[in-house]
Amino acid sequence: MSHASSRKPTTPQPAGTERVRRPRDAEKTKSAILAAAREEFCRHGLAGARVDAIAERAGANKRLLYHYFGNKEDLYRAVLMEAYAEIRAGERELNLDALSPEEAMDRLVRFTLRHFLANPWFTSLLSTENVQNAAFLKTLPDIPALHSPLVDQIADILENGRNEGIFRGGIDPVQLYISIAALGYFYVSNMKTLSVIFQRDLSATPMIQEREAEAVQMVLRYLLKPEA
């Protein structure tokens, strides 16, 4: 038997059929890289984070990571931007303009605390950036525009409350938001140490519910106009 005759005959492909390469899902890959980078930066900071580890965790080629995001610093900037865009998007979905002033502030306080609780990486990421004196945040030109609508919205809520005779005047919307964020941020970022110090499990549902109600009351009591 000849060598050629031992080969298995190839099955002819039907006319007009060719192997089609499945297109790469760029957005899915980018999302996976950002999620992996977020975890790596929160665990190890910018200096300690490794691009190899991010690519491996994302299941992506390292060259693809560089193609989409540039170097490690650019990827860190993208993670920062996404983190802020995510919380702002959540705030917009609250539809605060459709609520009464008291309901709007109640919902904003609860959302802020819940966002920190659901995304503990966020407080870690902000802590990392603060250690770096906000060096990378300063390079993101979209950040002021991202926050301006929120400040304007809070200002409108405060004005509506004053017009209805509910809220007192002289409240700075920026200072108010900082206070709201602080009530949630400190609780989440220091949950482990505070649980040890006060011998209470601050991650337990009853404690979280108690904290949420406390935060709402603190803000509303600050805002409400004193009774004559």
Tell me, yes or no, whether 39 and 104 share the same domain.
Answer: no
Half-sphere exposure for 179 (CA within 13 Å, toward CB)? 16
For residue 59, give the CATH number of its domain.
1.10.10.60
Integer CA distances (angstroms), 210 to 77, 203, 206, 213, in order:
35, 11, 6, 5
Whether residue 19 is contained in a domain is answered as: no
Tell me, yes or no, whether 63 and 89 share the same domain.
Answer: no
Tell me, yes or no, whether 96 and 62 share the same domain.
Answer: no
Tallying the residues shown for the chain, one arrives at 228
Question: How many structural domains does the chain have?
Answer: 2
Of 51, 70, 89, which one is at a domain's C-terminal end?
Answer: 70
164 and 101 in contact (C-beta within 8 Å)?
A: yes
* Domain carrying residue 33: 24-70
Tell me, yes or no, whether 121 and 180 share the same domain.
Answer: yes
Interval 36-52 mean pLDDT: 93
Tell me, yes or no, whether 101 and 183 share the same domain.
Answer: yes
Integer CA distances (angstroms), 29 to 68, 85, 191, in order:
9, 19, 33
Tell me, yes or no, whether 36 and 98 share the same domain.
Answer: no
Specify the pLDDT at position 146: 85
Specify the pLDDT at position 114: 96
pLDDT greater than 60 at residue 43: yes
162 and 120 in contact (C-beta within 8 Å)?
A: no
Tell me, yes or no, whether 177 and 65 share the same domain.
Answer: no
Specify the pLDDT at position 7: 46
Interval 197-209 mean pLDDT: 97
120-131 helix and 101-118 helix, angle to the nearest 10 degrees: 80
Q: What is the largest CA-CA distance in the chain?
A: 111
Tokens, residue 38: 């977020």
Report pTM. 0.83
Specify the pLDDT at position 26: 86
Confidence of residue 142 (pLDDT cuts 50, 70, 90): confident
Specify the pLDDT at position 22: 38
